[in-house]
Amino acid sequence: MKILWKILPPLLLGVTVFAHAESDASLSAPFPIPAKRKAREYRADTTGLYPLWENTGHVESAGDVRISTTGVQMGMPGVHIGALPLPFFYRTPNAYLKGSLFSSNRAALALQVGFFHLLPSASRSAFSPMYPTRLDNSDFSLTVIPMHLAFSWTLSQWLEWHHTLGAVVNLPSGNITGDFTPGYLSGLELNPLGNHALVLHLGKVGFERHEFFLAGASYRFRNSWLEARFGYFYRFRAEGAQAGPLASLGFLL
Amino acid sequence: MRRFLFLLALVGLAGCDWGHFHLMNSVPFHGDPAKNPVVAVYLGVDGLSHNTILDIQKRGAFTGEGWNLAKFHTMFPGTSDASWSRILHTDPIPGYEFEHYDPVRDQIENSGLLGYLCHAMPNLGSGLHFDPPYYNAFDYRSNGYTHTVGAYADTHSNYSESLDNLFTVLEGRAETQTEFTAYMLELDVMGHMKSRQEIADGMVRLWQRIQRFKERHPERKFVFTLFSDHGMDFIPVVRQGLVRFPEEMKKVGVEPVESLGGLDAKRGAYALTINHTRVTYLELHTDPRLTETVANLVSGIGPVDVALSRIAPPDGEPSGNGVQWFALWERNKASGTFAFDPANDRYYVSKDFPFRRFGITDPIPVREWISDEVAFQGTRHALYPDLFYRVRTALEPISVKYPAQVVVSLKGGFASVGKELPGGASDMAMSAFHGALDAPGTVGTLLTEERPLPDAVRSDNVLDLFPRLRKHLERRGVRLNPGDKNAPLNY
């Protein structure tokens, strides 16, 4: 079973990329996109909704700016830089750089590397104590380095499949040992080119040493300048399930 | 518009915390077990009675090698917020309940349905909550904004969600912490609204989860301690047993009032009472000159088991040097009186004290000073356990800033009606109660793998018995109060 989890996510990602390449080669032209849904009018999702583990293969175009709770980002040729804004209010400065490895009308592959620096007591800095956290870093800081290889494949006008093969590296701190934890998250986006979309999220974090399975669903509204998302996510660990809503709001400049 | 913006801000805060919750719980991390090979886990289980543990021990749960059980004598009146504050030595709350009488402002605070509904309001952040300070003592205390509402609306599924969250958080915290504290609400709700059997089943589930958790985590030794804030009487009350105390007071000549200012104590007895939740006690505030009169009169109300108050030193009995006198009133007379000498931590029981009436079978000397130690040992298994200490401290500002002058304990089968919710919700929470002076609603549980225990423990002493718990609360930044200086016992 563990072997399966070691090979399945990269296999899935590889097969998808290969399948896309084959299908792209066999098509003389991409499927028609209705005029009012021009790519420029509705910019592609360049962030995942679920933090730390979810991403997409899209990168901001040069000069595009996205101010969203899932990422404040500035596009430059082939890359964008960004940061999650809300964690700054929770004693967690962070930043990331995302570069496009490949992009076509129907697919995009990108690599993102970033960091989160959890200052002492970041885990306790929520406004409300109603939601419990596994981590309590009241007397030590922790640096977390997430890396994502993300691929987004638009299979049809009504379906886009996002894959994120990720890993999180913890630098040793306090009682915490250094760790490397891989994970894979898949997002099936229904009606990706339209205003309204439904996204189904499924993933697993920790292959050899299981951390959690993730399952969730979210709704996304988008127009030429606004992006809003709302979803509900479950994490299934050996000790039980934790669940909660997630919301985001963004402006596309 | 302002209201809309306020609501929008609250939703915004909630949205931010959801993101934080998911982010913090998605960071994979591990600690070195060699740095904390033993983790002490303290579970505060609301309303877990000693009898429930005896029931489930017959089913094999919480028994066997390593587990030690003691009766846990909790404060009178047995009400959660005041009792947890007393047990954990956190900052006092204003009154025994959220709704309380403030003598400085001479008014009842947090009254009405709105005050009652504040119980269900989630803590949205600093300045946006009604939480008592003791909640800060717990690493885990809730599974989300709707935790309290969920606990009452769908107790069983909420309990499952809480168990999942509790053990998930424990598994994470154990990577770095040597102690862990958690609060569990749902078993108390099951007691009030469901049945004794359902509490027992819920506790067996907790036991199974503890066993499973230990098996899954052999890398560390987990040492569990459970303690509760009060007992549970498991005496159902029918609608006719719900007491509307102000109406009963009128019948015996005590005028119910809403404030005490400007009233003339010479023109008749009056008292202010708090009718907040469905419990088996009532508090009465009155003019100090009327204390004995009011206690005497209300003790004649049918459903009243016993009323207690301070009294003036009787003629010929010890007085002076700070000695305080107390009376237990029944059927319009002081049936038992005793004195307390705070300077020497000793009690003096009057000659005609009805020991048998209060289920005290161990011999206790009368008309001579006895130590608190002797008083505790002599009453620890009585029907009214740790009677002298619990009566005395009910009237003192230990975990409540504004204690009452008279506290009334009701007979089994009766309960204060509390706030009545619209829509026919009056028949809710009628299965079991707490608050009264006698054992069923008083005797909670102290159950531990950490150390041997005597057969009975005064709840005020838990931090003395478990110094790791005290240290953990200090590390969490909880301000600890000394409590009653005469509470410690030599176990």
Structure pTM? 0.92
| Counts of helices then strands in chain A (DSSP H, E) | 2, 12
Cis geometry, peptide bond prior to residue B77 (ω within 30 degrees of 0): yes
Q: Do A133 and B24 touch (CB under 8 A)?
A: yes
CA distance A163 to chain B (A): 18
| Nearest CB to B28 within list A122, A136, A179 | A179
Q: Could you read off the pLDDT of A155-210 as tens digits, one per residue?
A: 888 899 999 999 999 999 888 999 999 999 999 999 888 889 999 999 999 998 99
Within 8 A of A205 by CB-CB distance, chain B residues are 26, 28
Q: Nearest chain A residue to B209 by CA: give it.
A: A239
Distance CA B386, CA B459 (A): 11
Give the bridge partners for B113, in sequence order: none
Residue indicated by tokens 């498991």: B234
Best A134, A145, A236, A246 residue to mutate vs chain B (most B CBs within 10 Å): A134
Assess contact for B137 and B85: CB atoms under 8 A: no
Within 8 A of B124 by CB-CB distance, chain A residues are 127-128
Q: Do B27 and A69 touch (CB under 8 A)?
A: no
Q: Do A134 and B20 touch (CB under 8 A)?
A: no
Q: What are phi and psi of A120, to 5 degrees?
A: -50, 135
Residue A193's nearest CA partner among A78, A85, A71, A33 is A33
Give the bridge partners for A217, in sequence order: A200, A232
What's the one-letter identity of residue B212? R
Within 8 A of A122 by CB-CB distance, chain B residues are 24
DSSP string, B59-104: TTTT-STT-EEEEEE--SS--HHHHHHHHHT-PPBSSSSSSEEETT
Q: Please list, residue by residue across A197-217, b when 16 or more beta carbons sit within 10 angstroms of its beta carbon and e when fewer do.
A: bebebebbbbbeeebbebebe
Here the tokens at position B400 are 């409540």
Distance CA A168, CA A186 (A): 17
Length of chain A: 253
Q: Please list, residue by residue across B218-242, b when 16 or more beta carbons sit within 10 angstroms of its beta carbon and e when fewer do.
A: eebebbbbbbbbbbbbbbebeeebb
Q: Do B36 and A175 touch (CB under 8 A)?
A: yes
Q: Do A176 and B31 touch (CB under 8 A)?
A: yes
Q: Do A52 and B173 touch (CB under 8 A)?
A: no
Residues 334-393 of B with CB under 8 A from A: none
Distant-in-sequence, close-in-space partners of B157: CB < 8 Å, separation ≥ 6: B150
ipTM of the complex: 0.88
Per-residue confidence of chain B (491 residues) as pLDDT tens digits?
666 666 666 666 667 888 899 999 999 999 999 999 999 999 999 999 999 999 999 999 999 889 999 999 999 999 999 999 999 999 999 999 888 999 999 999 888 777 777 777 777 777 677 788 999 999 999 888 888 888 888 888 999 999 999 999 999 999 999 999 999 999 999 988 888 899 999 999 999 999 999 999 999 999 999 999 999 999 989 888 999 999 999 999 999 999 999 888 888 999 999 987 889 999 999 999 999 999 999 999 999 999 999 999 999 999 999 999 999 999 999 999 999 999 999 999 999 999 999 999 988 999 999 999 999 999 999 999 999 999 999 999 999 999 999 999 999 999 998 877 666 556 677 889 999 999 999 999 999 999 999 999 999 999 999 999 999 999 999 999 999 999 999 98
Q: Do B20 and A125 touch (CB under 8 A)?
A: yes
Q: Do B21 and A133 touch (CB under 8 A)?
A: yes
Within 8 A of B172 by CB-CB distance, chain A residues are 133-135
CA distance B186 to chain A (A): 15
DSSP string, A60-74: PPTT-EEEETTEEEE
Within 8 A of A245 by CB-CB distance, chain B residues are 18
| Nearest CB to B29 within list A125, A176, A247 | A176
CA distance B33 to chain A (A): 9
A·B CB contacts under 8 A = 178
